[in-house]
Amino acid sequence: MKIQLFGLLAALLLLSACGSDAGSTDQTTQEDTGAPAADTLRYEQEANLKNLRQLTFGGDNAEAYFSFDNSKLVFQAANEAWDAPCDQIFYMPLTGYAGERPPMLSTGKGRTTCSYFMPGDTTILYASTHLGGDECPETPPVVNGKYVWPIYESYDIFVADLEGNIKQQLTDHPGYDAEATLSPDGSKIVFTSTRSGDLELWTMNTDGSELTQVTDELGYDGGAFFSPDGTKLIFRASRPKTEEAQATYKALLAQGVVQPTEMEIFVCNVDGSDLQQITDLGGANWAPYFHPSGEKLLFSTNHHVEGGRQFNIFSINLDGTGLKQVTFDKTFDAFPMFSYDGKYLVFSSNRNNGGTRDTNVFLAEWQD
């Protein structure tokens, strides 16, 4: 999930590298549209990607997720040209949007995050702060010298149609409810909530009923996704171990913020049983998504670079073996998601941004 973690991570890496030269060796573009020519955005090492295409051009675009019929993407973007000073929810066809604003599905008020298509592809799920105010909530840059992102208590989870009409409010509990995604059969939602006093994973039915707590260890649990067969969850988590780290985590959470610089990837059954830690790499390991086989996953990490100012997508087996780098941009690659048929991978990257801080959505054919 993008949440404010994305803003922090992007800011960190952009301090040291604004606008790398994206692409393998050729950056030819079509002058009439500004769209890159076919597959010139792929680095030579990116053997799993084929026919890489850029779908958005300008602003901060991330967390693009496929519709069930694999014909559309729902995503969040902050773009002044689209009347979105902070993240709002949009959708687009797989051909993308260049220049014009795609349809906005959120209210345009507050801040939103983590959209996902519901069964039938006529409605979407997303979290929003708009009930807490029309303006974008403030993002604290640091707290006591620490990089943080805020846990907005005004976040709740909603269902909207493709005309932007809110059809249902699924959560109405004081505190943070966000980062919701859907099971492959469309029956269950997993999300992150502070309703227990800590940032834990919860599940519920698509009508908001049968709330069930999944995790219960101290630390942030979030960005969860179901396995292709719907039996498991992968997610990112912080696990402060020392008394000092635990005290710091609790103190920051009491201020409504979290420091997201140390996270690893975990997997468990949907009911929370058989919890296993997949990565033990150090740094920030996040944005996990299952490979269509259900036997491995992709995730974003900065563990492989000194200083942690570069994020790339890696793959790893569920047992923690077989770590492999998938993308090679010099600044930022994250938020991978496979199409339901396993043919395509969508992700967000800072490549080909012309030296700006823009993050855009990219689509590629996937090759194992």
Eight-state DSSP code of residue 104: B
The backbone torsions φ and ψ at residue 9, rounded to the nearest 5 degrees and listed phi first, read: -65, -40
**Pairwise CA distance, residues 74 & 300, whole Å:** 20
Q: Round the average pLDDT of the chain to a whole number and report it.
A: 90
Q: What is residue 353's predicted lDDT score, i.e. its pLDDT?
A: 95
By residue count, the chain amounts to 368
Q: What is residue 144's predicted lDDT score, i.e. its pLDDT?
A: 73
**Pairwise CA distance, residues 73 & 191, whole Å:** 20
DSSP H helices in 222-314: 243-254
**Pairwise CA distance, residues 358 & 287, whole Å:** 19
pLDDT digits (tens, 9 = 90+) for 148-176: 888 999 999 999 999 999 999 999 999 99
- In Å, the largest CA–CA distance within the chain is 59
pLDDT digits (tens, 9 = 90+) for 126-141: 999 999 999 999 987 7
What's the count of helices (H) and strands (E) in the chain, helices before strands?
A: 2, 27
Q: Which region holds residue 240: left if phi is over 0, alpha if psi is between -120 and 50, else beta? A: beta
Residue-range domains of the chain with CATH: 3-366 (2.120.10.30)
Helix, strand or coil, per DSSP, at residue 15: helix
- Torsion 215-118-70-349 (CA) sign: negative
**Ranges in the chain, pLDDT < 70:** 1-38, 99
Q: What is residue 15's predicted lDDT score, i.e. its pLDDT?
A: 30
| Burial of residue 325, with CB atoms counted within 10 A of its CB: 0-12 exposed, 13-18 middle, 19 or more buried | middle
Q: What is residue 286's predicted lDDT score, i.e. its pLDDT?
A: 97
Q: What is residue 247's predicted lDDT score, i.e. its pLDDT?
A: 96
